[in-house]
Chain A
Amino acid sequence: MTRLSYAFALTAVTGILAGGLFVPTAKGQDSSGTKTESAATTAGPGVAVTTRGSVSQTVGKLKKMIAHNGMMVMGQLNQGRVLSMTGIQVKSQTLFVGNPQIGKQLFSADPGVGLVVPIRINVYENAYGQTVVQYVPPSRDLNQFHDAQITMIGNMLDQKLKGITSMLGQ
């Protein structure tokens, strides 16, 4: 067999692996085809963005955007399902979002940051049937540590979250 054949075969290997090694990440599109509409506000306890998809659709979309923005979903709490044990019916899911590199820097600066990170993003259905994505800007709490590095990371996280939630409206 010629070397040319092996080069061709190597290309075939790349094709086999292409299924997932190059899995595209979502860039704001709604995989379900649902149109989304957003309006960011800073009223209430944090920043809130309203979308038109359901809670589960929005959570799915949010997870892809978090991954695309270099963050990880470290945990997910289906508050609605937990609360169903008490007889109440709500649609609410909370994502705990972090990043190993940022976490390493923050906890090296002050282990007390565990009070603030991982960041909580809450997705719920409000009284009008709208799906709301809400979070407290991390800088608001991280600034309380009076540490220049922590403050800088807090501001950077604000920008990341703003980017992620604004993509929900695209």
Chain B
Amino acid sequence: MWRFVEEILLSGLILLCAAVAPNIFPAAQAGYAPMSTLAAWALIPSIVVMAITVAIAVWRGHRRLVNRVWVGVAAGMLATAGLEAVRITSFRLFHGMPGDLPKLLGVLLLNRFMLGPSAWSNVLGYLYHFWNGACFGIIFTLIFGRIRFYWGMLYGEVIGTGFLLSPAVTALGVGFFASKMHAMQITVWLAHLVYGGILGWLCQSWTHERGWLLSRRTNKPRPRTDGEAKSED
């Protein structure tokens, strides 16, 4: 019982840390604090605390939790690459976004809006965007465990809709919920559908155990796929 409680506590701490990155951009755009300040005082500490918590989970042998964190990070980052493919295509070819979001994130992180983007700010902006994707991946795998990929698509759409509703979009001058820029709404929904699809598919393939956050371990091994069964035959 204690091991289960310990796993829940560690999972809760990791979830809290994962929720920091996606929230600093809307908070900064709403005018609560510069993003550079939020990055220094909230984002970096959250990454450090998460790393320590995962290390404790590895040390204490919480294999289900560790598997879910790594799957969340890897699947989230790969899914963000899919999201980026849609976003860049829409931005470059169809002017479907008001600006280049990772570049904006970079100048906000380094507090150099007036100077514009630099190579370093672009790298940081993309790193932040991919870390955001990883955090959403961690949240997905920790809470849901191994589920069918289409739940990932629904999850992606929840994230996309949440983004459109956030002050981050309003501050870009496209109106609440991007009501003055329908191309952006379509881009965001489509990009997050791709993100969710990739995330859901990878999590379905890589996560070892079923069961959501509060369910006890089943100790049931992952069923073999058709391919694995055939190769053994």
A99 touching B31 in the complex, CB below 8 Å, given contacts A9-B212, A13-B143, A74-B113: no
Interface size class of A (residues with CB under 8 A): 35 or more
B29, B154, B172: the one within 8 Å of A10 (CB): B154
| A13 & B158 in contact (Cβ 8 Å cutoff) | yes
What 1/0 flags go to B119-143 for Cβ under 8 Å of A?
0000000000000000000011001
| B15 & A67 in contact (Cβ 8 Å cutoff) | no
| B173 & A75 in contact (Cβ 8 Å cutoff) | no
List residues of chain B with CB within 8 A of the CB of A23: 23, 26-27, 30, 32, 166-167
List residues of chain B with CB within 8 A of the CB of A10: 144, 151, 154-155, 158
List residues of chain B with CB within 8 A of the CB of A101: 98, 172-174, 180-181
A22 touching B166 in the complex, CB below 8 Å, given contacts A70-B174, A72-B172, A101-B174: yes
B113, B172, B212: the one within 8 Å of A75 (CB): B113
B15, B166, B173, B175: the one within 8 Å of A71 (CB): B173
| A6 & B212 in contact (Cβ 8 Å cutoff) | yes
> In this assembly, does B45 line the interface, its C-beta being within 8 Å of a C-beta of chain A?
no
| A21 & B30 in contact (Cβ 8 Å cutoff) | no
> In this assembly, does A73 line the interface, its C-beta being within 8 Å of a C-beta of chain B?
yes
Output the residue of A5, A9, A12 with the most chain B CB within 10 A. A9
Nearest-CB distance from B160 to chain A (Å)? 11
Grouping DSSP codes into helix (H, G, I), strand (E, B) and loop, the B interface class, with mixed when no group exceeds half, is helix
Give chain B interface residues in 7-42, CB to chain A under 8 Å: 15, 19, 22-24, 26-27, 29-32
Grouping DSSP codes into helix (H, G, I), strand (E, B) and loop, the A interface class, with mixed when no group exceeds half, is helix
List residues of chain A with CB within 8 A of the CB of B143: 9, 12-13
| B210 & A1 in contact (Cβ 8 Å cutoff) | yes
Output the residue of B15, B172, B181 with the most chain A CB within 10 A. B172
> Could you list 24 A-B pairs, sorted by A, with CB under 8 Å?
A9-B144, A10-B154, A10-B158, A12-B213, A17-B23, A19-B19, A19-B23, A20-B19, A20-B23, A20-B24, A21-B162, A22-B162, A22-B166, A23-B27, A23-B167, A24-B167, A25-B31, A65-B31, A68-B31, A68-B167, A73-B31, A74-B114, A101-B172, A101-B174
List residues of A whose CB falls within 8 A of some B CB. 1, 5-6, 9-10, 12-14, 16-17, 19-26, 60, 63-68, 70-75, 96, 99-102, 104
List residues of B whose CB falls within 8 A of some A CB. 15, 19, 22-24, 26-27, 29-32, 98-99, 113-114, 139-140, 143-144, 147, 151, 154-155, 158-159, 162-163, 165-167, 170-175, 180-181, 210-213, 215
Which 3 pairs show the lowest CB-CB distances between chains A and B?
Answer: A20-B23, A99-B173, A63-B31
